[in-house]
Amino acid sequence: MTFELTKEYLERIQTAIADQDDALLRAEMEELYPADISGILYELETDQARYLLTLLDRKVGAEILANLDPGDRRDFLEAFSSQELAPYVDEMDSDDAVDILNEQPIQVREEVIGLLEDREQARFILDLLHYDEDVAGGLMQKELIKINLNLTVNQCIEEIRQQAENVEKVHVVYVIDDAGKLLGYVSLKKIVLSRKHAKIADIYDEDIIFVETYRPVTEVAEIMQRYDLEAVPVVNVQGRLLGRITIDDIVDVITEKAEEDIQAISGISGEVVEDDNIWQRAKVQLPWLVAGAVGSLMAATVINGFQDELSQIAALAAFIPIIGSTGGNVGIQTASLIVQSLTDKGGLTASMGQRLLRTILVALINGLVVGLLAGAYTFIIGEPRLFFVVSTSLLSVVMLASFMGTITPLLLNRIGINPAVASGPFITTANDLIGIGVYFLIADLLLHL
C-alpha cells in the first residue's frame, strides 16, 4: 500500500518531535520507505528534519540523503557538522557520496573524507572527485564485483561472497585479466549452473558493452536505453575496469534532461522549480516573456498598418486570433516532433529534404481541413466574401508554420545549439508576425481593398 502524506499525519509527527517521543517516531518511520520519509522531511523545519533523521538507522538515513533534491539537500546539510555527516557518507554508494561532497565547501569535504572509517570508501571517493559530473566517470560508482579469468567457479563464488558485502545490487560479475583490463562478464546463472572446477576463462562472455570515463552522460543514457542495460561498466583509456553505472542513476539523467527540454520549450531560460522564491522564478521566465511581448508589439504594429482594410471590413478583425493561435500551435507541434526525432540516436535519420516533404504533405492536409472549417464560419456570421480570404490564409499559415517548425530546430541542431529552445515563445511570436502579415496581404489581393 502506498503512503500518502496528510496534514493530520504531518501534525502528529511534528507533535512527536516537539515532545521528543522517540519511540513513536521510530515506530512510524519503520513502516515507511526511505522515499516516503524524504517527503516528510521536505515539509518539516530544518531542526525538526535533522532531529528525525538522527533517530533513523544510519543506512536508511544515508539513502534518504542520497535521494533528496540537491538544492534542498545542500541547504539541509548546512545544519550538520563534518563529524555528523561522515557516518552517513560511510554508508553510501561512492557515486552518491561524491555527489553530496561536491555540494559542500572544500573544507567540509576534506574533513568528511578524513573522518571516514571505511578507508576503501575514502579511496573510492578520492578516485571519483576529479571527474566532471557530466561524464561517465562522474556518474559511475566504484562498488562492483570483478573476478580474474584464471579463477575456477568455486573460487569465483567465494570472491562474490567477499565482494558482495559492499555491493547493494549484483547485476553481473565482470571478468578482468591480471592487469585489471575488462575482458567480459559472466552471469550469475551461468556461475550457478557450471561445474565448480570449471575455469572462468572457459565460460565468460566476451561480448560486453562498456563506456569510457570521458563519455558524456547523455551518450551513456542513450546506450543503456538502446541495449536495455541495467548496468554498464566504465573503463579508462587503457581498458582497465574502474566502475559501473546503474540504471537508477541513468533514470535521474533522463529525467533531468527531459525537465530541461520542457523548460526550454516553455521559454524558461534557466533551472527553476515551483518552490523557488519569487525573484528566482521571475528571473528565469522574464527573458522569453519580454521577447514574446516585443514580438506581440511588432504584430500589433503590423495590424496597425492595415487600419484602412479593417475600417472597410471590420469582420476581418474577428479572424486575427485564429490566424495567430493556429500558426503558433502548428509550429510548436512540428518543432516538438523534430526535436524528439533528433534525440533518438538509435534509428536511421531522415534527410532535411525528406523531413520537409513529409511536413508539407501533413501541413497541406491540416491546412485544408482547418481552412475549410474556418471558411464555413464566414457564412454563419454573414460574411461569405471572406470565405476564400480566411480559408487561403489559414492554409498558408499552417504551411509556413510547419516549415518554420521543421527548419528552425534542424538548423539550430546543425550549428550546435539545443534545438529545444527553437520552440515555445520563439516560434509562436515569429508565426504571429508571419501569419497576420500573410492574412492581410491575402485580404488585400482577393478583396482589392
Q: Return mean pLDDT, the chain.
A: 85
Q: Give tens-digit pLDDT for 108-153.
A: 999 999 999 999 999 999 999 989 988 999 999 999 999 999 999 9
Cell numbers 576503501 correspond to 120
Cβ contact 137:128 at 8 Å: yes
The model's pTM is 0.64
Is 213's pLDDT higher than 70? yes
User: For residue 346, with 0-12 CB atoms within 10 Å meaning exposed, 13-18 middle and 19 or more buried, which class applies?
Assistant: exposed
Angle formed at CA 228 by CA 349 and CA 157, multiple of 5 degrees:
150
Is 314's pLDDT higher than 80? no
Q: How far is CA 132 from the centre of its chain?
A: 18
**At the topology level of CATH, where does 146-246 sit?**
CBS-domain (3.10.580)
pLDDT of 347 reads 46
CATH code, 7-130 = 1.25.60.10
Angle formed at CA 253 by CA 57 and CA 121, multiple of 5 degrees:
40
Rounded mean pLDDT of 39-64? 93
* N-to-C CA span, the chain: 70
Q: Are 146-246 and 278-447 equal in CATH topology? A: no
Rounded mean pLDDT of 435-449? 83
Domain ranges across the chain: 7-130, 146-246, 278-447
Cβ contact 332:421 at 8 Å: no
* Poorest-pLDDT segment among 138-147, 227-236, 292-301: 292-301
Is 22's pLDDT higher than 70? yes
What is the assigned CATH class of domain 278-447?
A: mainly alpha
Is 348's pLDDT higher than 70? no
